[in-house]
Amino acid sequence: MKTLILTGLGFIFLGLGAIGLLLPVWPTTPFVLLSVACFSSEPNIKAKIMKIPFFREHIENYENKTGLSKKTFWSSIIWLWSTLLISMILVSNLWISFLLLLVGLPVTVHLSSITRDRREK
> Using one digit for the tens of pLDDT, what is the confidence trace for 75-88?
888 888 888 898 89
Boundary of a domain, candidates 35, 64, 93: 64
**DSSP of 67-90, one letter per residue?**
-B-HHHHHHHHHHHHHHHHHHHHH
66 — pLDDT class (breaks 50, 70, 90): confident
Range of the domain at 94: 70-120
| Number of compact structural domains in the chain | 2
Considering the domain architecture, whether residues 54 and 92 belong to the same structural domain is answered as: no
Considering the domain architecture, whether residues 90 and 105 belong to the same structural domain is answered as: yes
How would you classify residue 65: left for phi > 0, otherwise alpha for psi between -120 and 50, otherwise beta?
A: left
Q: Are 39 and 49 in contact (CB under 8 A)?
A: yes
Chain centroid to Cα 87, Å, comes to: 20
Considering the domain architecture, whether residues 52 and 81 belong to the same structural domain is answered as: no
Considering the domain architecture, whether residues 10 and 57 belong to the same structural domain is answered as: yes
Considering the domain architecture, whether residues 87 and 45 belong to the same structural domain is answered as: no
Boundary of a domain, candidates 64, 83, 98: 64
pLDDT digits (tens, 9 = 90+) for 16-48: 888 877 776 677 777 887 888 888 778 888 788
Exposure letters 53-86 (e unless 16+ CB within 10 A, then b):
eebebbbebeeeeebbeeebbeebbeebeebbee
**pTM here?**
0.59
Considering the domain architecture, whether residues 56 and 9 belong to the same structural domain is answered as: yes
